[in-house]
Structure 1
Amino acid sequence: MASIPALLRRYPFVTATLVVGLVGLLLWMLGATSWVQWLFSGFALVIAAIQLVGMIKNLRRGNWGIDILAITAIVATVLVGEYVASILIVLMLTGGEALEDYAANRATRELNALLKRAPQIAHRLQTDASQPEDIPAGAVETGDLLLVRPSEIVPVDGDLVSANASFDESSLTGESIPVERHSGQAVLSGSINGSTAIRIRATATAVNSQYQRIVALVEEASASKAPVVRLADRYAVPFTIVSLLLAGTAWAVSGDPVRFAEVLVLATPCPLLIAAPVAFLGGMSRAARNGIIVKGGGVVETLARARTVVFDKTGTLTEGRPTISRVLAEPPFTEAEVLGLAASAEQYSSHVLAASVIAAAEAAGLESEVADTASEVATFGVVARFGTREVAVGKLRFIESHAEGTRAAPLSGGELAIYVAIDGHFAGSLLASDAVRGNARETVEALRSLGVRETLILTGDAQATADHVGTQLGITRVQADCLPEDKVNAVRALEARPVIMVGDGVNDAPVLAVADVGIAMGAKGSTAASESADVVILVDDISRTARAVMIGQDTVRIALQSIWLGIALSIGLMIVAAFGLIPATVGALLQELVDLATILNALRAIGGRRDAAAAATRVASAAAARGVAIG
């Protein structure tokens, strides 16, 4: 926490006001009352002039604020001789700005924590047995072998070379449970190594690593404040008019101009100006703690009003990793024979499904053979020879050209087939499916409970596959066989707005940019998708989409509650002051309490207790799933 001298230097207007107040108190004690009046009145008018300049600049930019109330209150109290009230109003204004800044820094500490934790040093190894050389993280090149010591931050993205390791990814994903990684698996920069030293092979430079992309997103998010002001400005003009009418009426009825000043002292707009920025920054901070980077307060507000959510299918609603679900062997071939030989041949294929076939064979305990020769026909299939046996694996038409009697496999919704021929005979087929995420249906239902009227799948996949996924998840509409431009046109045509688009790939970047709110699944998605999106989910968890909407709604609700709390307290006190029951000096002190109540209420948007309770529930659920008792 900053020291008091540092705070006084940081907020010079507050410091100047306190100094003037102390000097005035000293003069009063010496009996120089007239000097006190001139000092307080002169200083107050100087501050009013500074506020007036700022108000004119805002008006020229088209921002209709309520600074006129504060300026009018200062001038009015000076004119009627309430110079003590005038200095209290000045303290309230300058102190309010300082409190807003301090609260904003408090609310964004989770965002700033990412910037402070950026990896600086890497330990490069020339060989496995060599002594590490300390180099700047920015000097790491792809392919470098790096040592990461216990509790150190991983400097760049890489693949784990050591047998296994445990990492704390909470700053990236918001999950407090350490994750296990095994040799060959990807390790993200910014994660914290566990209790043993490990080696990784760099797969990206520091600039292109996950952590630096997150840092760039955080900087963009924290710099965006403009939309926040608009929420408060909706109430600015009506509040100003009501305040001036009350003050004017009190003056007209009582015939006392002091009554005008007493009412306006309680109408100073600090609660209205402070509430929305603090609440929205608190909501952005809460989202960051949950592994969700939101690029601006305006995005938070739009999330809260979302009425349609559009999903990409592959990698968003589904795992994006097709797995072999069934092996259909044609006699006399066995399932193990078909799968084993298909995996042996797929070692020489670059097709996206080759890895799925190989993984299925390994899971079944089948060892792949080394081919004597192998050739691939791009996008169609591969042919490999193992001694006297020839194996062909690929699409239906490709296998038809290698084996008579080849026939299409019976497919259920969402499946696709890989066909196998052995020695010129149709040997069978491997059926693969891209499993729907376990919590995808729960996410759709949660969004519906949050007020989303329509859900839609836009995908380049086949209609039958997309329909199968849509039916499983209870999606309202499904549009398949889409090119990127088709997705853009479909989103633009939607009537129930605002529209959220959720995607993860390069082909989703255009539609993420045109949606009212684009959400990128950034854990595995492309940089293009993340840069085009308004929200980036840092963990591979579709349920964070619903959580982002929930945080948006919580934030807007708290912001509005804080605004109305400030307005209600101010108007109530103004009405009392209109009857002459609150002197101007007392009114200025009461308004400080209104400011404090507004700020404290707005800080609820940070949501620490709610997130802690939710995290505890997730940890308990995870432990129960592993059969671990929580004591």
Structure 2
Amino acid sequence: MSIVVRAGRRYPWVVATLVVGALGGVLSALGEGRATTLLLGGYAVLVAARAAWSMVRELREGTFGVDVLAVTAIGASVAVGELWAALVIVLMLTGGEALEDYAALRARADLSALLERAPQVAHRTLVDGTLEDVHVDEVAEGDQIVVRPGEVVPVDGTLESAAGELDESSLTGESLPVERVAGDVVLSGGVNGSVPLTLRVLRPARESQYQQIVALVAEAAASRAPMVRLADRYAIPFTALALSIASVAWWWSGDAVRFAEVLVVATPCPLIIAAPVAFMAGMSRSARKGVIVKSSATLEQLYRAKAVAFDKTGTLTRGEPRLSDVRTVDDADETLRLAASAEQLSSHVLASAVIDGAADRGLTLTSASDGHESTANGVTATVDGRRVVVGKRSFVAEATGHDVPAPELAAGELAVHVGIDGRYVGMLVLSDEIRPTSRETVASLRRTGVRHVVMLTGDGAQTAEHVAADVGIEDVRAECLPADKVDAVVGLTDRPVVMVGDGVNDAPVLAAADVGIAMGARGSTAASESADVVILQDDVALVATALTIGRDTVRVALQSIGVGIALSVGLMLVAAFGALPAVVGAWFQEGVDAVAILWALRAAGGARDRATLPRRQPRDAASGSPDASRGAEQRQPREGSPLGATSPRSAG
């Protein structure tokens, strides 16, 4: 009974139509023909008047909706005495909202699940060791919280427990649990395993990963589908065609009933419902793949995209330095161990790269003492009784009192020089690796119909062309400032243009492009806010996925409209020859509506997508994009990258 009451409150006109139909059936069975006519006819005219008033308001706003056919069909059916057919059309009109609501709920299931899982409570540790439950917004940086088994991590934090296992599929698409150990960054949104975890809060909830994702999803779910407007483009020709067929049928047969029979099967539910459902399904599919599309209008732009522009650092490349070589007159491992031990005193991004390189080689570091870091130059420290200096060429030369030769470096490489006990011993070569999926991503974009791919970067031409050649891009715009990137995107003749970037300096060009895509797993908040699409995983391959989903979604939406129109036109032609009574035709039209909606739901992708989620790249998604360099030499400058020339420490 409660279900009926809730349905009545949510869809009163649907319930009223069913009640009128039931009463009409009873009156008809009792032989009350006049009462039946008054009830059915009066109710049908009332609903038609309500729809007509709504239609007039739309016309005043400059929109020609397709409800005109339904209103005309109801009026014609009542005029010729086909009252039950009129009631079926009324059911279609009033039930259309319920059908759309049901289909939209199905289509946006993944979006809804993400919103519903957003944590509201955190267990904060007090000074005496007890726990207090507070709203997640009250948790501050530096607080200690406990995440119980099976709970969603409410904020980003550093793990203080010895180890833990989390399900991060909602963040990364990775279906397997991931292990974290003490000191690791744990992102909000992951689901804790079977052991309670203690975290030290890194940032408040509003700045944490999961809450930002939830905000993006809420924005996406609230957007309206542009295909409603596109469907309206079909309204005038479809209405004209239906009225023409109905008028010719009336004229040819001399029977006004034939006019009503044709219009009954011309009701436009496929245009009204199918396209919005397809768009919501496509947005749900993209969210499931780790791509948040903020606006349904973006999907139509992705469908028509003809050009894609890429930032280089952090997008086509990993955006972080990695140790590629150790060139020294001493033992390579010992030189690297001493240098990495000294670099433990520095918070610079290149210091992290040196330390990571030592860890990759299995070297054990020791504590450094008597250390000093010279901003943008390097570090001097004592390690195992030896005086170690690490940093840029001029800094090491001054510290050792010896000339440091200019190194020979390939494009995209830089050198961190090392001196030990007053002598220059060699250098550590770092490079920014090209993502393994970059080349296939560019090739995939071309296969989907993108005509023009361009790379925009602040790097020098040699480095830029080297990377572009490796990933298969011919059009390279090097040494670009943020304003130059905007000018380049605006000047592209192939439209719409999609721009892909990740850094703060990409925010202006992401906003200027027809579609801005931000690599949000590591990129800046400014880039994510400026973008129309945010990729939650650190995988550039999802750029091609976003375009594929956009094309699939609009294609399915257009197909659902086409299928609905084709079936309606076929039924109109049958009705024009008098082979389809009005009541039967009205029920056939309900079937057409169901077919169009089911077709539109194909845009959700289904289980096939779940089996092909992209795997997460082996990197820390919580780390920010580094933005400075202290390398002694590099062949070309890079914009806003660890190999960039944005810091004086990068100068030779």
Using the size of structure 2 for normalisation, the TM-score is 0.90
Corresponding residue of 1:309: 308
Q: Show CA shifts across 1:486-522 (max 9, x none).
A: 1111111111121111111211111111111111111
CA distance in 2 between counterparts of 1:151 and 1:447 reads 40
User: Which aligned pairs between 1:57-72 and structure 2 lie closer than 5 A?
Assistant: 57-72=57-72
- Distance change (3 Å), C-alpha of 1:226 and 1:290: closer
Give the alignment partner of residue 446 of structure 1, picking from 441, 444, 447. Answer: 444
Which amino acid is the alignment partner of residue 347 of structure 1? Answer: Q
| 1:95 Cα offset (Å) | 1.2
Moved more, 420-429 or 138-147: 420-429
SS in 1 for 2:320: coil
Which amino acid is the alignment partner of residue 507 of structure 2? Answer: A
The alignment status of 1:12 with 2:9, answered yes or no, reads no
CA distance in 2 between counterparts of 1:173 and 1:56 reads 48
User: Which aligned pairs between 1:226-265 and structure 2 lie closer than 5 A?
Assistant: 226-265=225-264
SS in 2 for 1:371: strand
Which amino acid is the alignment partner of residue 538 of structure 1? Answer: L
| 1:603 Cα offset (Å) | 1.0
Identity of aligned residues (%): 57
Which amino acid is the alignment partner of residue 81 of structure 2? Answer: G
Moved more, 276-285 or 459-468: 459-468
Which amino acid is the alignment partner of residue 294 of structure 1? Answer: V
The alignment status of 1:321 with 2:320, answered yes or no, reads yes
CA distance in 2 between counterparts of 1:390 and 1:618 reads 44
Q: Unaligned regions of 5+ residues in structure 2, if any? A: 619-652
Moved more, 336-345 or 527-536: 336-345
Corresponding residue of 1:516: 514
CA distance in 1 between counterparts of 2:167 and 2:373 reads 43
The alignment status of 1:202 with 2:201, answered yes or no, reads yes
Moved more, 345-354 or 433-442: 345-354
8 Å CA contact 1:160, 1:183 repeated in 2: yes
Corresponding residue of 1:626: none
| 1:59 Cα offset (Å) | 1.9
Moved more, 568-577 or 100-109: 100-109
| 1:388 Cα offset (Å) | 7.5
Which amino acid is the alignment partner of residue 307 of structure 2? Answer: T
User: Which aligned pairs between 1:104-503 and structure 2 lie closer than 5 A?
Assistant: 104-126=104-126, 130-329=129-328, 331=329, 333-364=330-361, 365-376=363-374, 378-384=375-381, 390-402=387-399, 403-503=401-501
- Distance change (3 Å), C-alpha of 1:311 and 1:368: farther
Which amino acid is the alignment partner of residue 157 of structure 2? Answer: G
SS in 1 for 2:179: strand
SS in 1 for 2:580: coil
User: Which aligned pairs between 1:447-596 and structure 2 lie closer than 5 A?
Assistant: 447-596=445-594
User: Which aligned pairs between 1:16-31 and structure 2 lie closer than 5 A?
Assistant: 16-31=16-31
SS in 2 for 1:326: strand
Moved more, 183-192 or 458-467: 458-467
CA distance in 2 between counterparts of 1:244 and 1:210 reads 54
CA distance in 1 between counterparts of 2:100 and 2:57 reads 20
| 1:387 Cα offset (Å) | 8.7
8 Å CA contact 1:372, 1:387 repeated in 2: no
- Distance change (3 Å), C-alpha of 1:11 and 1:334: same
Corresponding residue of 2:44: 44
- Distance change (3 Å), C-alpha of 1:56 and 1:173: farther
| 1:289 Cα offset (Å) | 1.1
Q: Show CA shifts across 1:462-494 (max 9, x none).
A: 332222221111123222222211111111111
| 1:574 Cα offset (Å) | 0.4
8 Å CA contact 2:338, 2:365 repeated in 1: no
| Residues paired across the two proteins, number | 615
CA distance in 2 between counterparts of 1:479 and 1:142 reads 41
SS in 2 for 1:475: coil
SS in 2 for 1:413: coil
CA distance in 1 between counterparts of 2:433 and 2:63 reads 50
CA distance in 1 between counterparts of 2:78 and 2:47 reads 12
Corresponding residue of 1:3: 3
CA distance in 1 between counterparts of 2:181 and 2:313 reads 25
CA distance in 2 between counterparts of 1:20 and 1:505 reads 61
8 Å CA contact 1:345, 1:374 repeated in 2: no
Q: Show CA shifts across 1:567-597 (max 9, x none).
A: 0000011011111111111111110111111
SS in 2 for 1:3: helix
CA distance in 2 between counterparts of 1:415 and 1:62 reads 59
CA distance in 1 between counterparts of 2:276 and 2:132 reads 46
CA distance in 1 between counterparts of 2:162 and 2:317 reads 29
CA distance in 2 between counterparts of 1:375 and 1:524 reads 27
Q: Show CA shifts across 1:586-615 (max 9, x none).
A: 111110111111111111111113213424
CA distance in 1 between counterparts of 2:589 and 2:282 reads 26
The alignment status of 1:602 with 2:600, answered yes or no, reads yes
SS in 2 for 1:434: strand
| 1:386 Cα offset (Å) | 5.7
Corresponding residue of 1:97: 97
Which amino acid is the alignment partner of residue 34 of structure 1? Answer: R
Moved more, 458-467 or 252-261: 458-467
Which amino acid is the alignment partner of residue 107 of structure 2? Answer: A
SS in 2 for 1:614: coil
Which amino acid is the alignment partner of residue 6 of structure 1? Answer: R
Q: Unaligned regions of 5+ residues in structure 1, if any? A: 623-631
Q: Show CA shifts across 1:282-313 (max 9, x none).
A: 11111111111111221111112222111122
Query: After TM superposition, where is structure 1 displaced by more than 4 Å over at least 4 residues in a row?
Result: 385-390
| 1:618 Cα offset (Å) | 6.5
Corresponding residue of 2:638: none
Which amino acid is the alignment partner of residue 25 of structure 1? Answer: G
Moved more, 481-490 or 262-271: 481-490
CA distance in 1 between counterparts of 2:608 and 2:551 reads 14
CA distance in 2 between counterparts of 1:447 and 1:421 reads 47
| 1:369 Cα offset (Å) | 4.1
SS in 1 for 2:292: strand
Which amino acid is the alignment partner of residue 487 of structure 1? Answer: K
- Distance change (3 Å), C-alpha of 1:618 and 1:144: closer
Q: Show CA shifts across 1:375-431 (max 9, x none).
A: 40x223333456985433222333344443311222123211112233443221110
SS in 1 for 2:158: strand
Which amino acid is the alignment partner of residue 336 of structure 1? Answer: D
Using the size of structure 1 for normalisation, the TM-score is 0.93
8 Å CA contact 1:162, 1:182 repeated in 2: yes
Which amino acid is the alignment partner of residue 570 of structure 1? Answer: S
Q: CA RMSD in A?
A: 2.1
8 Å CA contact 1:228, 1:277 repeated in 2: yes
Corresponding residue of 2:644: none
Which amino acid is the alignment partner of residue 395 of structure 1? Answer: K
CA distance in 1 between counterparts of 2:288 and 2:37 reads 50
Moved more, 389-398 or 197-206: 389-398
